[in-house]
Chain A
Amino acid sequence: MADKTKRLLQGNEACAEGALYAGCNFFAGYPITPSTEIGECLSVRLPKTGGKFIQMEDEIGAISAIIGASLAGSKSLTATSGPGFSLKQEGIGFACMTEVPCVIVNVMRGGPSTGFPTGPSQSDIMQAKWGAHGDHPAVVLTPSTVQEIFYETVRSFNLSEKYRTPVILLYDEIVGHMREPIVIPEEGEVEIVNRIKPTCPPEEYLPYDDSHEIAPLAAYGEGYRFHVTGLNHKPDGFPTNDPKLIEKENKRIIDKIENNKKQIWKNEAIDLDDATIGIFAYGSIARSARYAVNIMRDKDIKVGLLRPLTIWPFPEEAVSEMAEKVKVIIVPEMNLGQAVIEVERVAGGKCEVVGINRVDGDPIHPQQIIEVIEKYK
């Protein structure tokens, strides 16, 4: 008999379900392959729960609308791909600077430019970190399965609300369009985090009160008449030209993530304990890597896999530990070498680091990884 609690869902549908589970009540987006199904799904599901869906005139309009909605008290989401993610960068920077919680999904497709819209890619790893101008924090999550997309969407909202920062959910077209059975947890089974609201009298409210690590955030229309600006600002939210305050703010928005990265990191370590060969892989390619590990373990070759679910802040501790143990870290990714730069930086010469790269729109197959493992066994 079929398990009724299981549902066969596409990755993008699981993202929409995860958003609803997390309490998302506002979506603004613009159609773009291969992320469109998220908006399509929420255009049906949100109004049924009293939530709001709007298809904006462009990608910039969509990120702008979700930031506005969040300031009015909503939990908001947008979803995009490729060129749309590039267009959203100014809004992402604004949300970082103004510390407005919101979630941005980027279903990665081949690039640059229009590139290969229907093909998978992992070439936005660096854009997710450095895409917006200026120094800014980045929290970026990389699920590998449809079930994981559900949970990581929930975690994206939770981190965003907790740290008052935009969170980017980054997965590739393969997991976005793959269908797998998933279980949607019962209400209350997974913790839902909501932003802290002020309790002080309105006249004492400071939206960027730096005596808190994360200042409470009021919503517009609740009696706290506060000011929000993308200019460097003081704890009261109003612009400043004071060099000391500018530096303090610029560091604070990064430090609030940096100081909490142990709570934000999430990795899966597979067969790493006795491994002499390590693999660092994320998203759909982590599935190829896992398959390769299983095959090689059957042949008694000591290979292990580190699979980050949080790619930014970069999992320095886990990569450093792995680099101590193994002679080589293999980094397969559907780009011309992005995460590998960070792995090399963290490994710091303690082991060899070698990339496997592919940008032809086909995934990296287990056999490609096995061929490299064979060289180092």
Chain B
Amino acid sequence: MAVQTAAKKERAPFDYDRYLRPKKLPHIWCPGCGHGIVLKSLIRAIDASGLTKDQICMVSGIGCSSRTPGYVDFNTLHTLHGRSFAYATGVKLAKPELKVIVISGDGDALAIGGNHFIHTCRRNIDMTILVYSNFIYGMTGGQYSPTTPQGAIATTSRFGNIEPVFDCCDLAKAAGATFVARGTSYHCQDLEKTILEAIRHKGTSVVEIIDQCPTYYGRLNKLRSATEMMEKFEKNGTVSVKQVDKLPPEKVEGKLLRGILHRVERPEYCEEYDKLIQDAKGK
């Protein structure tokens, strides 16, 4: 047994470079930003999925998270603010054999891209959507977003944010997404498994990922470090769906659920379109 354990420990380290475009690094993300951790989970999930790099098309909109496609060695498309879902729909419908992964943020998906987001979910077109939610517009310097908590300070809510938040997962489920999950950059190993499940799912899969923006959200809200933010919002701010029934109500109150929240089977858009083609050809 001892020999086997030693052999396991000597396993070659994961080769991230195989999926990256090393010449395009360093990335633009600030120290302490959660996006790099999410990228790591995403790459590991893609590796586990067995998909080849040529099979993947990664599409994004505008924002810090949307810079991800520039760093990864897939077919990559960095589009306009909020529009990634519609561009991705065009790519997928034109070439259904591609696995489309959309990288988005809380402002990109839930504000300017809200309409495209909900209708993509409604169609149940096969794509995996990752919404990185760090409660703020990072790239433009810290304005409040649809996930900024009420009372929080942003550069456009200096007196405290009065707007209620959007629950990305509830929205995706209500709109018709057939796989809905939430993860965090703190629980990065769980996140990897969740993303893998999302990629394997046939239909629209949405994973909201709670991560942190220490540069803007943290600084404006007197959270001194990235780790403090991860503990507050991710470790202590979420509860696993697997544990939620076992916990007393006071330990669940006000916390976001983490894990796979919704999974159903429903006809996928491109497959339905193929049937439509067969019908139309017969008429």
Contact = CB atoms under 8 A, between A and B. Distances in A.
Contact of B77 (A50, A68, A74, A238): A68
Nearest to A219: B95
Interface stretch (B2-10, B50-58, B243-251): B50-58
B277 to A, nearest CB: 5
B47 to A, nearest CB: 16
Q: Interface range on chain B: under 10, 10 to 19, 20 to 34, or 35 or more? A: 35 or more
Contact of B93 (A54, A223, A231, A238): A54
A91 interface: yes
A57 B115 contact: yes
A221 B281 CA distance: 27
User: Interface majority SS on B: helix, strand, loop or mixed?
Assistant: helix
Interface in B235-283: 273, 276-277, 279-281, 283
Contacts of B92: 68
Interface in B138-152: none
A240 B194 CA distance: 34
Contact of A72 (B78, B98, B276, B283): B98
Nearest to A227: B76
Given A54-B89, A65-B90, A238 B57 contact: no
A223 B73 CA distance: 11
Nearest to A90: B80
Interface string A74-91: 101000000000000011
Contacts of A56: 86, 89, 119
Interface residues of A, number: 43
A60 interface: yes
B163 to A, nearest CB: 23
B6 to A, nearest CB: 38
Given A47-B281, A54-B89, A221 B80 contact: no
Contacts of A94: 79-80
Contacts of B161: none
A68 B73 contact: no
Contact of B276 (A47, A61, A221): A47
A228 B76 contact: yes
Given A68-B77, A225-B74, A229-B78, 17 more contacts: A26-B94, A28-B90, A60-B86, A64-B83, A65-B87, A65-B90, A66-B90, A68-B79, A68-B87, A70-B90, A70-B94, A72-B94, A91-B83, A220-B57, A225-B75, A229-B70, A238-B24
13 contacts: A26-B94, A47-B273, A47-B280, A47-B281, A48-B280, A50-B277, A58-B116, A60-B83, A61-B115, A68-B59, A69-B91, A70-B90, A231-B78
Q: Nearest 4 A-B pairs (CB), nearest first?
A: A68-B90, A64-B86, A65-B90, A47-B280
